[in-house]
Chains A and B, each alone.
Chain A
Amino acid sequence: MESFWARFALRLWVVLILLFLFLPLALIPLYAFNSSNIESWPLAGLTTKWFTTTWNDPDVQTGFALSLRAGLTATALALVLGSCAAFAIHRMTFFGRDVVSLLFVLPLALPGIVTGLALNSFFHFTGISLSIWTIVVGHTTFCIVIVYNNVLARLRRTQGSLIEAAMDLGANAFQTFRDVTLPLIGTAIVSGAMLAFALSFDEVIVTTFTAGAQNTLPMWIFGAIRLGQKLPEVNVVVSFVILVTIIPVVIAARLTGGSGIARTTTAR
């Protein structure tokens, strides 16, 4: 009997935690269908009119386009730089390797407001005007870390003798990379990219300091809430952002066997 109650209590606790984590998230998509523009229970009625309104809002359109472009560019850059960094750290031993490794990961640990402020000062100092490119630079700093960590973890789990086996069988450096290395770390690279994109797509703090006149989608949300305008549209956009960020994270978790890919980074 004891064990029954212990199990029951444990299950109840798990359910409560899940509700605590996800109930607020579930509320937003629900409000997106609310026919009244005032958020109150019970819902006044169900409608899809806000979706049409949001879709036709030019501010949302430009915000979405900017978020998408910045996210994809930052991800692409992070993919190349992060993978290269992971290879270098894995393959080579040199003086100060651990320090360099730490420096790669540091941008993730730094508070976004520090990264943002530092970049903002730097752009002012060098006279670079804020644009999509400054957003991309800001996002790339933390996207690199995601790709780097993912690829490095996979490389460390991969048998070193596989590379030697390929060379031993006559493969040159390029063939070894194409036939052995890439297939083995491919899913790690893709999942790193997915997570990096998800992270970039909903980033606010660094973006605030590095964006010019244009708003990204999260910044548009931020502004709309502060001004208390277009709240029904905000619910639609937020629902969309949740979807866009969850899908890559789920895919990433699938690709890496669902292990160790906690999106701890969203805390920033």
Chain B
Amino acid sequence: MAIHSREARHGASAKSALRPPALRLEGVRKSYGHVLAVAGVDLTVQEGEFFTLLGPSGSGKTTLLRLIAGFERPDAGTIELAGRDVTSTPPHLRQTNTVFQDYALFPHMTVADNIGYGLRIKGIPKAEREERVQTALSMVRLAGLDKRKPNQLSGGQRQRVALARAVVNEPEVLLLDEPLGALDLKLRQEMQLELKRIQQKVGITFVYVTHDQEEALTMSDRMAVMADGKIEQIGPPVEVYERPATEFVAGFIGISNVLERNGIRFVVRPEKLHMLEEGQEPRSGMTVESGIVEQVVYVGMSTRYIVRLDRGEQLVAVRQNMDAPGQALRYEGRRVRLAWVPGHTYVLDHQRARGESALSEHDTEER
């Protein structure tokens, strides 16, 4: 996946030498009354990219999507689609299409009429329209359901119709607003792969909004993590996960173990921690700290060990459940040593540079 996405990005940047980026935001701000929903966002999405806006609810990601679609006007800043300034263009004249969170299928139209609506409005002749609708239907694996009404479909099928209705128009940018939010876990995981497959097949630029970090990591070429209306970090999933720029990003994506040693704050991911049994020696060059296992949490595929270090901090270590079932629980209350390769940690540079006050607070605490 990682290799593929790197290729995709290289492909995109090669194209971008000739063409303007699919989407460019500059200094975009939007407030509702006194609430600042989007607080100055700069963003460039290349053609053909699967770009994810990830953040908790209230982080401004959906507002940003609505600004791109044209449902909202920004208070400041510019929005460009394929090099054209569309900041004040109404939604029906923008080359974007949206997959809505609640699907927003027209209940009085059949599946085929729903999918063909955008083409009908554009005045595409009937024969071509029907052909493209059929192609879109088979792309989302719903061939044969064209005569149905939306209320005769399951949640997953509605989701696919909503996707087909947007993709069939071949928009410059396809906007997806938490499209898998209403589906159950199994279906959601299937659709994640399905979406990725469709995106690669049609080559349309996707801007995908989600609060689900796993979804973002699985599908994106690049992702932006948002908090309080601002972008905390932009980068490919591997980079954002392995080298979070801020403590917020570290905490929001995956389990964050933040430690401070010699005035430097850094992140150790749970899967990078080795839990050493008695008598087991760490590999050379590893950092070792000891503590007590406070809690053991069984999560099916793996087990989480919550360890209180002797120096006071709490760390989470994760181990695959490769041993006999139930073995993990015997660790509760035991003294263990945790070891990690210093190179596998990531220093929160950003945080250090940002707030000296935060550091000095810690210094006083230690004294």
Contacts and interface: CB of A to CB of B under 8 A. Distances in A.
A76 B100 CA distance: 37
A170 B121 contact: yes
A37 to B, nearest CB: 54
14 contacts: A159-B102, A159-B104, A161-B100, A164-B71, A165-B104, A167-B70, A167-B92, A168-B71, A168-B96, A168-B98, A168-B166, A170-B121, A172-B92, A183-B108
Contacts of A183: 108
Interface string B67-104: 00111000000000000000000111100111011101
Closest 10 CB pairs of A and B: A169-B118, A161-B104, A165-B104, A170-B121, A167-B91, A183-B108, A167-B92, A168-B98, A161-B100, A170-B92
Nearest to A169: B118
**Residue from the set A170, A171, A183, A184 with the largest chain B CB neighbour count within 10 Å:** A170
A48 to B, nearest CB: 46
B156 to A, nearest CB: 19
Interface in A127-176: 159, 161-162, 164-172, 175
Interface of A: 159, 161-162, 164-172, 175, 179-180, 183-184
B144 interface: no
A179 B69 CA distance: 20
Interface residues of B, number: 25
B100 A165 contact: yes
Contacts of A165: 98, 100, 104-106
**Residue from the set A167, A169, A180 with the largest chain B CB neighbour count within 10 Å:** A169
A45 to B, nearest CB: 54
Interface in B92-135: 92-93, 96-98, 100-102, 104-108, 117-118, 121-122
B220 interface: no
Contacts of B93: 170
B169 interface: yes
Given A168-B97, A169-B118, 12 more contacts: A161-B101, A165-B104, A165-B105, A167-B90, A168-B69, A169-B92, A169-B165, A171-B117, A175-B121, A179-B106, A180-B106, A184-B107
Contact of A162 (B91, B104, B118): B104
Contact of B121 (A159, A161, A162, A171): A171
A159 B101 CA distance: 12
A149 B70 CA distance: 31
A169 B107 contact: no
A169 B102 CA distance: 16
A148 to B, nearest CB: 23
Interface in B163-221: 165-166, 169
Contact of B118 (A161, A170, A172, A184): A170
A167 B90 CA distance: 9
Contact of A161 (B90, B102, B108): B102
Nearest to B93: A170
Nearest to A162: B104
Interface string B49-78: 000000000000000000001110000000
B108 A169 contact: no
A171 B106 contact: no
A164 B107 contact: no
A179 B106 CA distance: 9
Nearest to B69: A168
A170 B104 CA distance: 15
B90 A169 contact: no
A69 B105 CA distance: 41
Contacts of A184: 107-108
A169 B71 contact: no
B169 A164 contact: no
A164 B117 contact: no
Contacts of B91: 164, 167-168
A165 B166 CA distance: 10
A161 B69 CA distance: 13
Nearest to B175: A168
B104 to A, nearest CB: 4
Nearest to A175: B121
